[in-house]
Amino acid sequence: MKVTIVGPGKVGMVLAYSLVLRGVAREVVLVGSNREKAEGEALDLTHAQAFQQIPVKVRAGEIEDAAGSEVVAVCASVPMPAGLLTRNALAQGNADLMKELLPRIAKVAPNCKLVMVTNPVDVLTWQALQLTGFPRERVMGTGTLVDSIRFRELLSEMLAIHPDDLRAYILGEHGEHQFPAMSVAQSGGERIDDTPERRALCERAKHFGMEVFRKKGNTCYAIGQSAAYIIEAILLDEKRTVPLSVLVDGYLGVTDVCLSLPVVVGKKGVERFLHPDLNAVEAEQFREAARAVRKVIDGLE
Amino acid sequence: MKVTIVGPGKVGMVLAYSLVLRGVAREVVLVGSNREKAEGEALDLTHAQAFQQIPVKVRAGEIEDAAGSEVVAVCASVPMPAGLLTRNALAQGNADLMKELLPRIAKVAPNCKLVMVTNPVDVLTWQALQLTGFPRERVMGTGTLVDSIRFRELLSEMLAIHPDDLRAYILGEHGEHQFPAMSVAQSGGERIDDTPERRALCERAKHFGMEVFRKKGNTCYAIGQSAAYIIEAILLDEKRTVPLSVLVDGYLGVTDVCLSLPVVVGKKGVERFLHPDLNAVEAEQFREAARAVRKVIDGLE
Amino acid sequence: MKVTIVGPGKVGMVLAYSLVLRGVAREVVLVGSNREKAEGEALDLTHAQAFQQIPVKVRAGEIEDAAGSEVVAVCASVPMPAGLLTRNALAQGNADLMKELLPRIAKVAPNCKLVMVTNPVDVLTWQALQLTGFPRERVMGTGTLVDSIRFRELLSEMLAIHPDDLRAYILGEHGEHQFPAMSVAQSGGERIDDTPERRALCERAKHFGMEVFRKKGNTCYAIGQSAAYIIEAILLDEKRTVPLSVLVDGYLGVTDVCLSLPVVVGKKGVERFLHPDLNAVEAEQFREAARAVRKVIDGLE
Amino acid sequence: MKVTIVGPGKVGMVLAYSLVLRGVAREVVLVGSNREKAEGEALDLTHAQAFQQIPVKVRAGEIEDAAGSEVVAVCASVPMPAGLLTRNALAQGNADLMKELLPRIAKVAPNCKLVMVTNPVDVLTWQALQLTGFPRERVMGTGTLVDSIRFRELLSEMLAIHPDDLRAYILGEHGEHQFPAMSVAQSGGERIDDTPERRALCERAKHFGMEVFRKKGNTCYAIGQSAAYIIEAILLDEKRTVPLSVLVDGYLGVTDVCLSLPVVVGKKGVERFLHPDLNAVEAEQFREAARAVRKVIDGLE
Ligand SMILES: NC(=O)c1ccc[n+]([C@@H]2O[C@H](COP(=O)([O-])OP(=O)(O)OC[C@H]3O[C@@H](n4cnc5c(N)ncnc54)[C@H](O)[C@@H]3O)[C@@H](O)[C@H]2O)c1
Ligand SMILES: NC(=O)c1ccc[n+]([C@@H]2O[C@H](COP(=O)([O-])OP(=O)(O)OC[C@H]3O[C@@H](n4cnc5c(N)ncnc54)[C@H](O)[C@@H]3O)[C@@H](O)[C@H]2O)c1
Ligand SMILES: NC(=O)c1ccc[n+]([C@@H]2O[C@H](COP(=O)([O-])OP(=O)(O)OC[C@H]3O[C@@H](n4cnc5c(N)ncnc54)[C@H](O)[C@@H]3O)[C@@H](O)[C@H]2O)c1
Ligand SMILES: NC(=O)c1ccc[n+]([C@@H]2O[C@H](COP(=O)([O-])OP(=O)(O)OC[C@H]3O[C@@H](n4cnc5c(N)ncnc54)[C@H](O)[C@@H]3O)[C@@H](O)[C@H]2O)c1
């Protein structure tokens, strides 16, 4: 099973390394703007995979080498403008980059599932749908999966329950307009009540991406794991539930924008869109997120 | 980390083999009624573990060799009387067996966590508390974990969602008086509605144990996995939520009986007892299960 | 990837369970002489796999359901005649059984790799070649892989080195005429010298199968792991070196008999036959093993 | 089990991430020269581990937080002087850095096993022995493990055999004076003959580190895996054979220098030093490597 990673930067390489360690993807192609660097990365990973039980072929290539990929993950990005520190600052630059990359991907790998990581991820997932003409089942952004895991980790420290058993979802925008769907949050069949302390964790989780970014200049491990989790659910046809950025199609009155909702991921991509029964406040937060993302989309040239 | 398995029969050996493959327990002691057979099993497992990355010491022993165990799993049993086919038929025989075994276990391994598998598991978990004097945190029966996984597997086939993401719990008795807590069942934040088709799956799941038993003369893989799951959650301090048979202490008005409830399992054993907000019908089913198990307990000599 | 196990007895079921836990085979078919029992086993495994990350379909079937299998493992057997305790005692009974089973397997799964486990394994691997007409690359017996791991485990206890790093091979017959190829035994580039103590371990390893059999009435875990190891090396195209029973084609002057030699296993089956440079004594032991196996073959009706 | 990584740069962080994914180390401390950056890394890893089954605590700290560590891995380094591209160019700078770091490590974690990664690794492993006063069993450098895996990977592509089954060792210096111990190279009991083609692979492997460095500006995945492999062998007491840089104590006449030899690694560190029976040419290459490393040591101020 073949996976192509477009944009082998900090995030793309953590994703590649994670895939190599597990051996689910048996062929990984790295497509970057600097061919020699991508070749160095491919060599280094080739040596690392030799320690594993399952052999994985890793090589550098051009977009055309994505042909035959089950999944193409897009992590390519213009650099974050110094000091700006908001994902939307990347919108125009990356929208332009996608115009260059995505039609070529769609041409050589017309049946692939597309996993968008580049920011602002909701905006670019929407754009990817336009540029590729792919059905919504095959275009997904990592969205609030990474925010959800950060929130669960904080909750886990507070409640002493494994993050995977804390079924709490951050939904909406991967950005300022995200919110915890506390009205449906559960663990072991028990409600996770909506207390001020937990709200505070959620606020902290929302800003964790930027906090990590400020401290180390990027974020790569949690997002790399997020992308790897989605990709392996596709390759192994696992039918896992995850919150992902997908085209919203009427849920809570929202249309024609990409936002994070819980979905089921399997070999066909997004095999099912779930519709949690949010309360009125949450529903409004979702609509607010839709307006915010829409505004960025509308602002693109 | 040391685990002792008392009763290396069909179930006990699947448990032992599962532990050996994963290498979390680094020492496994098999205590059976036939020492030579246990030695044969230990040798066979010793050769199997040599294929694994992590070395595990396996040996046969007496109950006294349980000293120092983190966990003691009890799978010892009198034989199922031919044709009887109800777990309660084993009650008196196994209650007598436990009177022989459990005080000795409590003596040599006074700080262990006790995982009861032998049937009728709710009755014997209750009895284990009496015979060992252990706090309720350290005595748990596999209970409806195995029923829950069977239900989730059936649901998974119907809904095309991974069983682990179908957060539906079978609670109550591991036997006739079990029930699905549908009012709190969720997947990906979405309610799993309580339809007649799903009820039918639940009925089927309830009788799966006996169906498998009739077909092959025992059940061992699903229950072996259940026990292994609990034991690894203890050894690795995972804080996993699982439905287990534990001493009920006032929940829904029930006391002094063991029934399955969702709990959190970590290195101290049951670290937290969860209290799902069941609806009135389910609450009554829980109380009915309590009366049924109590009746068997009261019938013991 | 589909695997069919013909003969879901003690060995076949440990193999099936091992495959299910790892999730490399995604579909497992159990073909036994008792359909209802096979269905019980399949159900039990289906419930066990629901605990794993990777979903695996398990079902009972007839030989015809082996169609499309990458690998067919043959563990079917007549019962060991009470008290006999030599693998060759099964030769005629199992040769007859194979006449019934193997042509049907070859018909429905003409491109599968055949992994023979049933005893006497060298004799039946040879017979499988005749009955199926498969090329020697696609017919292999577990042979002395299990003996080698037992020897390495004993050596490991003596030398305090991981069994996988003790590159010592037991070759020849899976039976009395096996021998350690001490002249080429190495660990970490250092010779493993041929001392009387090590010879004693080798003698013990040779009789371990029978020792375990006497103690517990069968052997299943080490052999189940051996078969699983080979099958996963095929499914994952791992190119692993293992000693397996294969058609010997002139090595040391031996022809037209199956004996264990080190080979390389990958997706095509046996992709390469290795030829260790044995010393004169070992070479003679190999020829002696050939004569012994040949004699059993010639004695078949 | 606690591991401290001193120097969470490119290499240190791949090591940290690898440990976090496997969950063998349950506590990981990152000690860098920039505390805030280390905190960002720790947070990012904390979010990544929340995806895994086994919880791992990751935090930033000072050297004093290494107290209680089973293993301390040293990856701290002065920067590679631009354009220099030889490991020995780092010798004086890193020797000075070690004078600052190692006595403090030895003081707070006097019983740890020390795994040296920083270059020139043979020189610094020798220096670490002096600075800590630790016995040679507890001080090891990654040495030619990474070179050996690169050579095996190339051989694997040529021979179509899994790298783990290609028991060929690169020994001597992790640098120009390394050599393949072809006279004892084996796979599956068969000699790996010393042909010009294989020699060429070995030359390529020797320069792979520098080739990757030139292409991508660092090497991190293969070396991160190497360090993780050693550390897990210690934590799990695996008794694995690996070529590591250790104090040579008379082998082939060499003393008082660190070079790579095959050794056995377990919970006590280097539990055994192996002595392959090298041929005369190889023995001389080993002595030559000793002289080269000695010269760098003698040149330190
Ligand atoms: N969705 C999330 O939760 C999340 C989290 C972290 C980072 N991100 C985003 O991921 C992106 C990558 O982040 P990073 O830290 O890896 O950045 P990076 O600068 O390290 O990597 C960017 C990569 O894009 C490549 N690239 C640029 N132009 C290209 C082209 N024309 N063709 C192919 N490749 C090209 C570069 O070669 C480089 O490898 C950013 O947009 C970042 O904001 C998203
Ligand atoms: N809780 C569940 O969901 C569940 C599921 C399946 C089976 N079970 C129960 O597990 C038990 C074991 O089932 P099995 O199929 O393995 O039975 P089995 O007959 O194969 O094994 C029973 C084992 O108990 C041992 N034993 C008997 N007396 C002993 C003594 N005094 N000391 C030590 N060991 C002794 C025997 O040696 C034997 O190994 C049964 O009670 C069965 O009903 C429970
Ligand atoms: N090669 C080795 O190293 C090794 C090691 C252990 C056992 N074995 C051999 O493996 C074989 C199986 O051993 P076991 O302990 O599992 O025995 P078992 O008696 O438990 O199982 C035999 C199985 O064969 C099945 N079978 C019989 N006739 C059949 C038919 N016509 N069609 C389909 N299935 C049929 C039975 O249903 C049963 O499931 C034996 O021959 C044994 O000697 C080999
Ligand atoms: N042995 C091998 O096979 C091998 C392979 C690759 C790299 N290396 C070596 O590993 C080292 C690290 O390489 P890298 O690419 O990660 O470099 P890097 O520059 O990315 O990282 C160096 C790290 O050292 C830290 N550091 C510096 N001074 C420190 C101090 N006083 N206290 C604590 N930490 C301090 C820095 O904070 C930084 O995190 C280099 O010496 C490199 O040559 C060795």
Model confidence over A240-286: pLDDT tens digits? Answer: 999 999 999 999 999 999 999 999 999 999 999 999 999 999 999 99
- Indicate whether C130 and C155 sit together in one domain: no
Q: Which of D29, D77, D90, D213 to mutate to test the pocket of ligand 4 (most atoms within 8 A of CB)?
A: D77
pLDDT value at residue D80: 80
* Neighbors of chain A with 3 or more C-beta pairs under 8 Å: B, C, D
Give the closest residue to A26 by CA, choosing from C92, C1, D97, C160.
C1
Count Cα atoms within 13 angstroms, Cβ side, for D7: 25
**How many whole angstroms separate alpha carbon C64 and alpha carbon C108?**
6
pTM, entire model:
0.97
**Could you say which of A141, A160, A183 is where a domain stops?**
A141
Does residue C49 register a pLDDT over 90?
yes
Cβ–ligand 2 distance for B76 under 6 Å, the answer yes
Cβ–ligand 1 distance for A77 under 6 Å, the answer yes
> How many angstroms does the Cα of residue A210 sit away from the middle of ligand 3?
61
Q: Which of A11, A126, A226, A259 to mutate to test the pocket of ligand 1 (most atoms within 8 A of CB)?
A: A11
- Indicate whether D199 and D244 sit together in one domain: yes
Average pLDDT in the A11-17 region? 98
Question: Helix and strand tally (H, E) in chain C?
Answer: 8, 13
Does residue A85 register a pLDDT over 80?
no
Best mutation target among A1, A49, A52, A53 (most C Cβ atoms within 10 Å) is A53
The overall average pLDDT reported for chain C is: 96
User: Which tokens belong to C279?
Assistant: 């010393």
Angle, helices C145-159 vs B35-49, to 10°: value is 90
Residue nearest to ligand 4 atom 21, measured at CA: D9
- Indicate whether B84 and B191 sit together in one domain: no
pLDDT value at residue B87: 83
Residue type, B210: M
Whichever domain contains C44, its CATH number is 3.40.50.720
β-sheet bridge partners, residue D241: D264
Contacts of D276 in chain C (CB under 8 A): 188-190
pLDDT value at residue D84: 61
What is the separation of C-alpha B260 from the centre of its chain, rounded to a whole number of angstroms?
10
Cβ–ligand 2 distance for B180 under 6 Å, the answer no
- Indicate whether B35 and B162 sit together in one domain: no
Average pLDDT in the A227-239 region? 98
In whole angstroms, how far apart are CA D109 and each of A255, A284, D112, D202?
59, 55, 6, 38
**How many whole angstroms separate alpha carbon A212 and alpha carbon A216?**
6
N-terminal to C-terminal alpha carbon distance within chain C: 37
Residues 6+ apart with CB under 8 A from B203: none
Contacts of D54 in chain B (CB under 8 A): 236, 238
- Residue in chain D closest to A13 (alpha carbons) equals D221
**Could you say which of D141, D166, D181 is where a domain stops?**
D141
**Could you say which of D141, D162, D194 is where a domain stops?**
D141
User: Which tokens belong to B220?
Assistant: 């061992």
Cβ–ligand 1 distance for A121 under 6 Å, the answer yes
Q: Among B79-83, B172-176, C109-113, C265-269, which stretch is predicted with the lowest mean pLDDT? A: B79-83
Cβ–ligand 4 distance for D218 under 6 Å, the answer yes
Q: Which of C47, C174, C177, C207 is catalytic?
A: C174
- Indicate whether A162 and A275 sit together in one domain: yes
Domain of residue D149: give its range: 145-298
Which DSSP category does C91 fall into?
H
Which DSSP category does B218 fall into?
-
Does residue D163 register a pLDDT over 70?
yes
- Binary contact (B53, D238; C-beta < 8 A): yes
Model confidence over C23-42: pLDDT tens digits? Answer: 999 999 999 999 999 999 99
Contacts of D235 in chain B (CB under 8 A): none
Q: Which of D44, D47, D222 is closest, CB to CB, to A44?
A: D222
Ligand nearest the Cα of residue C76 is: 3
pLDDT value at residue C34: 97
| Contact (CB, 8 A) for A183 and A285 | no
- Indicate whether C199 and C294 sit together in one domain: yes
- Binary contact (B40, C215; C-beta < 8 A): yes
User: Which tokens belong to A271?
Assistant: 């095999």
- Binary contact (C54, A23; C-beta < 8 A): no
Q: Which of A51, A222, A229 is closest, CB to CB, to D47?
A: A222
CB neighbour class for A24 (10 Å; exposed up to 12, middle 13-18, buried from 19): buried
How many angstroms away from the CA of B90 is the closest CA of chain D? Answer: 36
The overall average pLDDT reported for chain D is: 96
Cβ–ligand 2 distance for B12 under 6 Å, the answer yes
Model confidence over B64-103: pLDDT tens digits? Answer: 999 999 999 999 999 987 766 688 889 999 999 999 999 9
Q: Is the ipTM of this complex over 0.95?
A: yes
Number of neighbours of residue B26 by Cβ within 10 angstroms = 16
Burial readout B72-102 (b: 16 or more C-beta within 10 A, e: otherwise): bbbbbbeebeeeeeebbbbbeebbebbeebb
Does residue D243 register a pLDDT over 90?
yes
When pLDDT is cut at 50, 70 and 90, the band that residue C80 belongs to is: confident
Sign of CA dihedral A13, A17, A23, A29: positive
| Contact (CB, 8 A) for D216 and A44 | yes
User: Which tokens belong to B287?
Assistant: 């109380």
Which DSSP category does A119 fall into?
S
User: Which tokens belong to A218?
Assistant: 């990027």
- Indicate whether D77 and D202 sit together in one domain: no
Angle, helices D145-159 vs D221-235, to 10°: value is 110
Model confidence over D196-237: pLDDT tens digits? Answer: 999 999 999 999 999 999 999 999 999 999 999 999 999 999
pLDDT value at residue C84: 61
Whichever domain contains A238, its CATH number is 3.90.110.10
**How many whole angstroms separate alpha carbon B183 and alpha carbon B27?**
42
Within A109-235, residue ranges assigned H as helices are: 121-132, 145-159, 196-216, 221-235
Give the closest residue to B56 by CA, choosing from B68, B70, B40, B45.
B45
- Indicate whether C10 and C117 sit together in one domain: yes
- Indicate whether B27 and B154 sit together in one domain: no
- Indicate whether B294 and B149 sit together in one domain: yes
Number of neighbours of residue B203 by Cβ within 10 angstroms = 12
**How many whole angstroms separate alpha carbon A255 and alpha carbon A147?**
23
**How many whole angstroms separate alpha carbon A55 and alpha carbon A194?**
47
Pairing assessment for the beta strands C57-60 and D71-74 based on DSSP bridges: unpaired
Average pLDDT in the D122-130 region? 98
Residues 6+ apart with CB under 8 A from D185: C189, D166, D167, D168, D169, D191, D192, D194
Cβ–ligand 3 distance for C223 under 6 Å, the answer yes
Which DSSP category does C143 fall into?
T
Q: Which of A188, A275, A277 is closest, CB to CB, to B274?
A: A188
Residues of chain D that touch chain B, judged by Cβ-Cβ distance less than 8 Å: 23, 53-55, 236-239
- Binary contact (B276, A189; C-beta < 8 A): yes
- Indicate whether D166 and D25 sit together in one domain: no
Domain count, chain B: 2
User: Which tokens belong to A158?
Assistant: 């507070």
Residues of chain D that touch chain A, judged by Cβ-Cβ distance less than 8 Å: 14, 17-18, 20-21, 36-37, 39-41, 43-48, 50-51, 53, 55, 146, 149-150, 152-153, 156, 162-164, 208, 211-217, 219-222, 224-226, 229
Cβ–ligand 2 distance for B219 under 6 Å, the answer yes
Residues of chain A that touch chain B, judged by Cβ-Cβ distance less than 8 Å: 156, 160-162, 164-165, 167, 169, 181, 184-191, 238-243, 262-264, 266, 271-272, 274-277
Contacts of B54 in chain D (CB under 8 A): 236, 238
Q: Which of D48, D211, D215 is closest, CB to CB, to A222?
A: D48
Q: Among A83-97, A238-252, B5-19, which stretch is predicted with the lowest mean pLDDT? A: A83-97
- Binary contact (D272, C189; C-beta < 8 A): no
pLDDT value at residue C2: 98
- Indicate whether D33 and D160 sit together in one domain: no
**How many whole angstroms separate alpha carbon A215 and alpha carbon A114?**
30
Average pLDDT in the D158-176 region? 97
Residues 6+ apart with CB under 8 A from C135: none
How many angstroms away from the CA of B46 is the closest CA of chain D? Answer: 15
Does residue A84 register a pLDDT over 70?
no
